Amino acid sequence: MTNQTAPQNVEAEESVLGAMLLSSRAVEEVAGFLPPEAFYRERYAIIYRVMLELFEHGTPIDPLTVSDALDEKSQLETVGGKEKIAELAAIVPSASNVSHYARIVQDNATLRALLRAGQEITRLGVDRPGPIDELLDSAELALSRVSSLITTGDTLPITDALEEFTNDLRAAYLADEPITGLKVGYPDLDAILLGYWPGQLILLAARPGQGKSALALNIAENIVDNGGAVLFVSLEMSMPELRLRSLARAAEIDSKLLITGQMTEEQARKLPHGLKVLASRANLHVNDTGALSLSQLNAEATRLRRTAAVNLIVVDYLQLMNPPKAENRNIEIGMISRNLKQLARRLNIPILALCQMSRAIEARNDKRPLLSDLRDSGSLEQDADVVTFIHDETAYDLDKQPTGTIEIIIAKNRRGETGKCKLTFNRRWSSLKHLPKHPGG
């Protein structure tokens, strides 16, 4: 990128510095969103960085203090000497327009970063220095560097949108109903979590075979049946397998009988109803790509959020995602969980991510899961807003007969309470249902 083609506005850069030399309030206005790297002229970036250091230490900012600080760093002559500092102080008559000047500087810096990212992406496409998935991750990283330059400065007072918040509270009081997020369709679980909330990362963890995928699919179906839209990313099961499970639950027919055709007449009469229910779930969008990368998930989720208004993403399951290469597995899983959390925040919808638990639980006498049982990374517990476990005591003891119920343990909940509830689990139909409480119990 040459000097002639690089987007820049030297007058705006000088005006920002001049305003800051005139008023400490000008420093306060721009320090929160304008990084030193946004300046095109290196000497202006040096001056700005020194001003920020003085501001952080509570030192008044004026031509004398800035000149002295630069001199101590042996940078005064590099930026043009005391004469240049004095010249900058005389450029603007008032500091009142400093935010406008700073936005011009930031906009030009963003354009330069876009050009650099474009050149890097073009190089990746031409040279092809690796597999396609790695190239996509590198391209996304190049674009993310552009986003990192854009600090919106969206720090707001706590009273922002207070009237809307108050109206929500009043409505909840009058209706005698709580304010809830996206209801998952199980009353006891919704009562504890108050639904899934926009921006949340929810983990659903269990050992293999305890019903993670079945519960996640049931939740997705419940939401779709109630007018929502879901992106179900299946990294383990194929579309036909998911479709079969969904039909088995809707028709209440053993999935094996559906495959073999060995249904009774009564079961066969249920099939049209099940197919009708299945046909009504067009808003359940399934991606069964076997090794989805983070960049592919980001792209697909963004598209469906825009075109299909999805309000939940399910990832089944997290450890099967294809991460960027890292030093070890823990770091890779941490990268995945942070990316999912950032995606949930960016799209303003909850993400339900399934994950495996460590085998350490099988060596304990008490098989009830703990947060430390999350497999591969401590980042999972840190990044998640909600951590939910499935617990089936009979799964660890071959002498015990399955009870037909499983326990759902909410071990972490940033929005409120932890707790537990039980669901009935019909494995033949892949169906989980609310377990009504007995009177007085």
Selected residue with higher pLDDT from 322 and 382: 382
Q: Which two tokens stand for residue 246?
A: 């969904």
Selected residue with higher pLDDT from 160 and 411: 411
pLDDT tens sequence across 374-389: 766 667 778 889 999 9
pLDDT tens sequence across 250-285: 888 888 888 888 888 888 888 899 899 999 999 999
- For residue 21, name the pLDDT band (cuts at 50, 70, 90): very high
pLDDT of residue 39: 94
- For residue 44, name the pLDDT band (cuts at 50, 70, 90): very high
Among 273, 221, 224, which residue's Cα sits nearest to residue 432? 221
d(CA 51, CA 359): 54
Query: Alpha carbon of 325 to those of 130, 294, 331, 355, 383: distances in Å?
Result: 12, 12, 9, 20, 20
pLDDT of residue 144: 65
- Is the model's pLDDT at 50 over the cut of 90? yes
- For residue 236, name the pLDDT band (cuts at 50, 70, 90): confident
Buried b (16+ CB within 10 A) or exposed e, 195-223: bbbebbbbbbbbbeebbbbbbbbbbbbbb
- Is the model's pLDDT at 3 over the cut of 60? no
**What is the rounded average pLDDT for all residues in the chain?**
84
The one-character DSSP state at 174 is H
pLDDT of residue 439: 53
pLDDT mean over 308-331: 79
- Is the model's pLDDT at 149 over the cut of 70? no
Alpha carbon 62 to its chain centroid, in Å, reads 43
Residue 45 burial (CB < 10 Å; 0-12/13-18/19+)? middle
- Residue 296: phi and psi, rounded to 5, are -65, -40
pLDDT of residue 299: 74
pLDDT of residue 209: 78
Alpha carbon 393 to its chain centroid, in Å, reads 33
pLDDT tens sequence across 84-120: 999 999 988 888 899 899 999 999 998 998 898 888 8
Q: Which residues contact 293 (CB under 8 A, 6 or more apart)?
A: 133, 136, 137, 321, 322, 323
pLDDT of residue 438: 58
pLDDT of residue 435: 80
Which amino acid is residue 185, in one-letter code?
G
- What are the chain's domains? 10-149 (1.10.860.10), 181-434 (3.40.50.300)
Q: Are 432 and 404 in contact (CB under 8 A)?
A: no
Lowest-pLDDT range of 41-50, 237-246, 407-416, 430-439: 430-439
d(CA 96, CA 239): 60
pLDDT mean over 143-165: 65
- Is the model's pLDDT at 134 over the cut of 60? yes
- For residue 14, name the pLDDT band (cuts at 50, 70, 90): very high
- pTM, full prediction: 0.67
Q: Are 262 and 242 in contact (CB under 8 A)?
A: no
pLDDT tens sequence across 202-226: 999 888 778 888 999 999 999 999 9
Which amino acid is residue 276, in one-letter code?
K
Q: Which residues contact 311 (CB under 8 A, 6 or more apart)?
A: 182, 223, 228, 229, 230, 349, 350
Q: Are 311 and 349 in contact (CB under 8 A)?
A: yes
pLDDT mean over 42-67: 91
d(CA 168, CA 177): 11
| 417 carries an active-site annotation | no
pLDDT tens sequence across 240-259: 888 889 888 888 888 888 88
pLDDT of residue 328: 73
pLDDT of residue 376: 63
Name residue 167's beta-bridge partners.
none
- Per DSSP, the residues of 57-97 read TT---SHHHHHHHHHHTT-TTTTTHHHHHHHHHTT-S-STT
- Is the model's pLDDT at 156 over the cut of 70? no
- Which of 87, 120, 134, 236 is labelled catalytic? 236
- Is the model's pLDDT at 441 over the cut of 70? no
